[in-house]
């Protein structure tokens, strides 16, 4: 849920920190709750700050690294199920008067220190014009990548850094989100959560209460509808292609009934006839398969921009499509060829 802290009494960092600590401590005592965390300004696929950092030893802005900066409370990664890959999590000891630390995403670590461990490395924040120099941070952990900007291919390349909200409060503390992980249906916990927040501050406003599953479903609903629609048209097109291949080849074999009769009369075995007809029918299918695969590879870059987590040249998809069309072509050649080869030569010649 989102919590509105625009009231005058939350203008100071100390007031915001006190509210955050009390909220997380009290909500964690609700039966069924396993963990609680807060983030400012938002939530995955919700909001973040853009920030720039400079590696220790870098001297010019050309070496600056852009990242989405998230201000979170300890326990954030466990609550959201974000895997810790190296180092440690942010802890309760990471407070204002302690050395500044941060946790970085795997994408950030791989880009900034390729082939090296990011844990223990130092970063300097890059200040905007007329701003005091930002502090130097030590990387204490690396976590798995999270697509905070959604699943669009052009939004899945950004890197992330996570800073303890108790060391560096968000510049807009009015945008605070509470995350709760529970062993029970989260909806059943809502009355207790509301009661606790109202007990902390009766004037506190909270809104946009939703499960993460419902939030993700709503954000991907348009994409899922389009995928289903495209899949339906794709399957229909594939079936039409298979039927068309079968019809064309079967018609061509039927037109050769007289020729097949002559071949049988001249001594060709039925097995030879079937093999020859099948080979002739499959040849254009093989040519079409080569052209189709070349087209897939040629259009891969364009198609990739429309997909998330799927390679256009996925071997399962390619092999499955070719197998279906190949099976249709084989059946269209083999069945009529068998039938034609079984015809008595005199009957075929009389025709």
Whether 303 has a pLDDT exceeding 60, the answer reads yes
pLDDT tens profile 59-103: 777 778 888 888 899 999 999 999 999 999 999 899 888 999 999
Phi, psi of 86 (to 5 degrees): -160, 155
The pLDDT, as a whole number, for residue 45 is 44
Query: To 10 degrees, what angle do helices 13-27 and 190-200 make?
Result: 140
DSSP state of 154: G
Task: Report yes or no: 18 and 143 within 8 Å, Cβ to Cβ.
Answer: no
Alpha carbon distance 89, 78 (integer Å):
9
Instruction: Residue 42: count other Cβ atoms within 10 Å of its Cβ.
Output: 18
Q: Which long-range contacts (CB under 8 A, 24 or more apart) does 96-99 make?
A: 96/13, 96/166, 96/167, 98/167, 99/138
- What are the tokens at 208? 């946009």
Instruction: Residue 254: count other Cβ atoms within 10 Å of its Cβ.
Output: 11
Task: Report yes or no: 351 and 264 within 8 Å, Cβ to Cβ.
Answer: no
| 117/341: higher pLDDT | 117
Least confident span in 167-176, 204-213, 248-257, 281-290: 167-176
Distances (CA, A) of 133 to 53, 127, 170: 12, 6, 17
The pLDDT, as a whole number, for residue 271 is 85
What average pLDDT does this structure show over 21-25? 90
* Averaged pLDDT of the chain: 82
pLDDT tens profile 319-346: 888 888 888 888 877 887 787 777 777 7
Whether 28 has a pLDDT exceeding 70, the answer reads yes
DSSP state of 207: E
**Would you mind telling me the total number of residues written for the chain in this entry?**
351
Alpha carbon distance 140, 119 (integer Å):
5
Instruction: State what percent of residues in the chain have pLDDT above 70.
Output: 88
Distances (CA, A) of 148 to 45, 185, 257, 291: 4, 24, 64, 39
Least confident span in 4-18, 23-37, 133-147: 4-18
Task: Report yes or no: 107 and 160 within 8 Å, Cβ to Cβ.
Answer: yes
Phi, psi of 207 (to 5 degrees): -160, 180
The pLDDT, as a whole number, for residue 162 is 93
For residue 43, name the pLDDT band (cuts at 50, 70, 90). very low
- What are the tokens at 218? 């709503």
For residue 249, name the pLDDT band (cuts at 50, 70, 90). confident
pLDDT tens profile 215-248: 888 877 887 888 899 889 988 988 888 888 788 8
Whether 117 has a pLDDT exceeding 80, the answer reads yes
**CA-based nearest residue to 200, from 2, 3, 1:** 3
Map out the domains of the chain as residue ranges.
2-217, 222-350
**DSSP β-ladder status, 160-164 and 101-105:** antiparallel
């Amino acid at each position: 849920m989102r919590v509105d802290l625009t009231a005058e009494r939350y203008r100071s960092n100390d007031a915001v920190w006190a509210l955050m600590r009390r909220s997380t401590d009290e909500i964690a005592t609700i039966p069924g709750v396993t963990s609680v965390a807060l983030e400012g300004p938002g939530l995955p696929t919700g909001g973040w700050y853009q920030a720039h950092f400079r590696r220790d030893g870098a001297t010019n802005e050309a070496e600056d690294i852009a990242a989405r900066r998230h201000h979170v409370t300890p326990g954030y990664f466990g609550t959201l199920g974000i895997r810790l890959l190296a180092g440690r999590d942010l802890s309760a000891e990471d407070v204002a008067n302690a050395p500044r630390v941060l946790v970085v995403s795997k994408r950030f670590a791989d880009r900034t220190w390729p082939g090296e461990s990011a844990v223990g490395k130092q970063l300097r924040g890059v200040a905007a014009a007329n701003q005091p120099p930002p502090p130097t941070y030590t990387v204490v952990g690396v976590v798995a990548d999270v697509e905070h900007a959604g699943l669009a291919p052009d939004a899945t390349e950004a890197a992330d850094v996570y800073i303890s909200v108790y060391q560096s409060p968000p510049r807009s503390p009015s945008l605070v989100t509470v995350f709760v992980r529970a062993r029970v249906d989260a909806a059943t916990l809502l009355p207790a959560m509301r009661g606790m927040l109202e007990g902390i501050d009766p004037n506190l406003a909270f809104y946009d209460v939703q499960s993460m599953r419902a939030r993700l479903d709503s954000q991907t609903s348009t994409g899922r509808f389009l995928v289903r629609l495209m899949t339906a048209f794709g399957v229909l097109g594939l079936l039409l292609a298979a039927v068309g291949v079968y019809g064309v080849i079967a018609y061509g074999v039927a037109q050769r009934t007289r020729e097949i009769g002559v071949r049988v009369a001249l001594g060709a075995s039925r097995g030879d006839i079937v093999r020859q007809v099948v080979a002739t029918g499959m040849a254009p299918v093989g040519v079409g398969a080569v052209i189709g695969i070349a087209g897939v590879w040629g259009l891969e870059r364009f198609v990739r921009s429309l997909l998330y987590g799927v390679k256009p040249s996925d071997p399962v998809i390619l092999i499955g499509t070719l197998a279906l069309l190949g099976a249709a072509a084989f059946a269209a050649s083999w069945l009529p060829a068998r039938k034609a080869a079984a015809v008595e030569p005199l009957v075929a010649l009389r025709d």
